[in-house]
Structure 1
Amino acid sequence: MKILGVDYGDRRIGLSISDELSIIVHGLPLLEISYMEEGVEQVVSIATEKNVDEIVVGLPKNMNNTIGERAKIVLDFVEKLKTCVNIPVVTWDERLTTIQAGQMLSDVKMTHSQKKRHLNTVSAQIILQSYLDAKKRTNKI
């Protein structure tokens, strides 16, 4: 089962994809967008091209588990995405993934702007790996 991981942002969308066995996750090229519908179109195109079975979108909940403004925007993106694909689109708690991704990139020899461009992709990889790990723990893969 091939799954696409998505870290949605207003200007950048980080993407990751699992292998057919849902074991290994790797990053895909960063999407640069100008508006939400463009992001939906590009994610749908990649999901179709890569023949994925499911899409997992990181949901940036507040630390107290509430839905804030940023999460509402992501949920709007998810609803638009669901109308364009015939596969499951689910959200997954992405709290602290950007911080974790930043820590992972902190020791890499890149300029600040290069690290910033990789941050969303690494976040998408963390989101998807976390989702897969949870599914394995509950034997749902």
Structure 2
Amino acid sequence: MIGRIMGVDLGDVRIGVAVSDPLGMSAQGIEVIRRKSEAEDIKRIGELLHQYEVQKIVLGFPKNMNGTIGPRGEMTQQFATLLKDTFQLPVVLWDERLSTMAAERMLIEADVRRDKRKQVVDKMAAAIILQNYLDSL
């Protein structure tokens, strides 16, 4: 058994969270954390890591379309270090270009209303990031 892997889509306002099944085959969005403070965000992530017995974190890494790393990418790298240091788990930065747009498109195709889309797009993006990582293994 690989153990569960958590996918995280870090945003300014919300953090989308997904987890894999215990065999590491499929990803499922589980929660959208409304950001309050770094301490509260980390506390909630810690609770989810414990609840799902997560062994590894895959953090969506926003790169510019030309592959360079901008301010959001640098912020994500700092968050990855914080996760690593706090939870003593491996953290993988995974290219997330277009994952939120893909999630948004899937929800539109599924005819989900705009107000409802806002509530779930982040955890869907986290699931897409995690699923892409799982598929690469």
Matches within 5 A, 1:1-141: 1-135=3-137
The gaps in structure 2 that reach 5 residues or longer are none
| 1:36 shift after superposition | 2.7
- The residue type equivalent to 2:127 in the other structure is Q
Q: CA RMSD in A?
A: 1.2
- The residue type equivalent to 1:126 in the other structure is I
| SS of residue matched to 2:87 | coil
| 1:37 shift after superposition | 3.0
- The residue type equivalent to 2:24 in the other structure is S
Deviations 1:83-141 (A, max 9, x none): 11122111100001111111101023332121011110110000000001111xxxxxx
State the 4+ residue runs in structure 1 displaced beyond 3 angstroms. Answer: none
Tell me how far apart the structure 2 counterparts of residues 34 and 8 of structure 1 sit (CA, whole Å).
13
8 Å Cα contact 2:21/2:27 also seen in 1: yes
Tell me how far apart the structure 2 counterparts of residues 117 and 73 of structure 1 sit (CA, whole Å).
23
Tell me how far apart the structure 2 counterparts of residues 10 and 100 of structure 1 sit (CA, whole Å).
19
| SS of residue matched to 1:48 | helix
- The residue type equivalent to 1:38 in the other structure is E
Tell me how far apart the structure 1 counterparts of residues 75 and 38 of structure 2 sit (CA, whole Å).
9
8 Å Cα contact 1:16/1:128 also seen in 2: yes
Q: Which moved more, 1:93-102 or 1:34-43?
A: 34-43
| SS of residue matched to 1:5 | strand
The count of corresponding residues between Structure 1 and Structure 2 is: 135
| SS of residue matched to 2:129 | helix
TM score, norm. by length of structure 2: 0.93
- The residue type equivalent to 1:113 in the other structure is D
8 Å Cα contact 2:26/2:134 also seen in 1: no
